[in-house]
């Protein structure tokens, strides 16, 4: 089993304006980004820095003057072979002159992605763009039952993020629980992309047992990774990403049917008539004596010591634990009891 931390890292690095409440709101943002963005091809000689009103803009031949954001300025500096940190210490006029003298004047045309009157990115001819919207169209078509995890208390993180540089999506199926080797797992996936070359495009699918408040995915199995760089034929990865999601959904449906049978048996399977006999069964499966006693008291209220009433009682007790590790460990032991109803 693995603990996956990609979504947790995204949670703590995102600013509030990059957090989206729902998949629909993220989708609308990506639609607008694609509609307002335009690729412009210019020979290196047509791309010239231009100091204006205390800042450094970029002139794109007959297309006029555009502002740069931090990412596109970084790319311009990379093309010129000049340190961004050094240029930031100079006046716009001096920085512009340094770029004029170092920016290549020959070579293949460069592709400049503009957003209204701002430049989002600058790339060479080999870069192939893939829009976030293309990925979300696949999600909306093939992952209809998936949704973001519980909202984090930190920054109201939702698992749905999109900023100037990249997009990250974390989705799970909260009703897709299935039995894998006698334990309960649910499916989920991470999806990421950058329209401006900040990161690769890719997906990671998995089955997990818990997601904590900091969006760490605990005890994941069957973790499958796929990613591609934004080079020639990158659009072919859309087919591969669709296949990964389809496989996850197909396996969920197969396993969910089996899990339903296990749960039906869990409602009927009794672990004993007397509390002391059931306590021995719980101890045999690693349930501490004090927690087993609490679980028996809760299950006794239901009138029967079935697998379901005991698992339900232990799950409720786990929810009262202060520490994530303790909750996860008890949840795992409770899920292990389901094997008695298989």
pLDDT tens-place string over residues 16-70:
999 999 999 999 999 999 999 999 999 999 999 999 988 999 999 999 999 999 9
> What pLDDT does 313 receive?
79
Phi–psi pair at 195, nearest 5 degrees: -80, -10
DSSP 105-138: -SSSPEEEEEETTEEEEEE-TT-----HHHHHHH
Phi–psi pair at 257, nearest 5 degrees: -65, -40
> What pLDDT does 26 receive?
97
pLDDT tens-place string over residues 202-216:
999 999 999 999 999
pLDDT tens-place string over residues 169-194:
999 998 888 877 767 889 999 999 99
How much is the pTM? 0.76
Residues of the chain above pLDDT 70, percent:
90
Domain ranges of the chain: 2-33+130-256, 44-106, 269-341
* Measured distance CA(9)–CA(170) in Å, rounded: 12
Two structure tokens written together for 172: 């799970």
């Amino acid at each position: 089993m693995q603990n996956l931390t990609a979504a947790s890292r995204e949670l703590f690095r995102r600013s509030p304006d990059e957090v989206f409440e729902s998949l629909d709101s993220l989708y609308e943002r990506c639609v607008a980004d694609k509609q307002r963005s335009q690729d412009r091809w210019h020979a290196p000689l047509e791309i010239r820095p231009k100091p204006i009103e205390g800042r450094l803009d970029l002139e794109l031949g007959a297309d006029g003057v555009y502002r740069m954001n931090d990412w596109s300025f970084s790319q311009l500096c990379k093309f010129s072979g000049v340190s961004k940190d050094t240029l930031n210490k100079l006046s716009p006029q001096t920085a512009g002159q340094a770029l004029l003298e170092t920016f290549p004047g020959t070579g293949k045309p460069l592709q400049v992605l503009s957003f209204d009157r701002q430049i989002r990115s600058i790339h060479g001819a080999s870069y192939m763009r893939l829009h976030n919207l293309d990925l979300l169209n696949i999600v909306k078509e093939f992952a209809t039952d998936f949704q973001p995890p519980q909202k984090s208390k930190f920054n109201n993180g939702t698992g749905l993020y999109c900023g100037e540089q990249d997009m990250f999506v974390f989705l799970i199926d909260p009703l897709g629980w299935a039995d894998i080797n006698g334990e309960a797992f649910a499916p989920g996936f991470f999806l990421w992309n950058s329209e401006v070359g900040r990161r690769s495009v890719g997906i990671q699918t998995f089955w997990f047992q818990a997601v904590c408040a900091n969006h760490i995915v605990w005890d994941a199995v069957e973790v499958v990774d796929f990613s591609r760089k934004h080079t020639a034929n990158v659009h072919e990865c859309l087919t591969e990403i669709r296949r990964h999601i389809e496989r996850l959904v197909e396996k969920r449906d197969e396993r969910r049917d089996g899990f339903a049978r296990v749960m039906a048996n869990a409602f009927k399977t009794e672990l004993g008539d007397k509390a002391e006999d059931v306590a021995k069964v719980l101890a045999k499966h690693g349930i501490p004596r004090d927690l087993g006693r609490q679980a028996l008291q809760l299950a006794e209220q239901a009138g029967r010591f079935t697998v379901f009433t005991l698992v339900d009682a232990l799950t409720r007790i786990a929810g009262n634990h202060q520490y994530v590790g303790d909750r996860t460990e008890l949840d795992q032991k409770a899920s292990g009891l389901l094997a008695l109803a298989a």
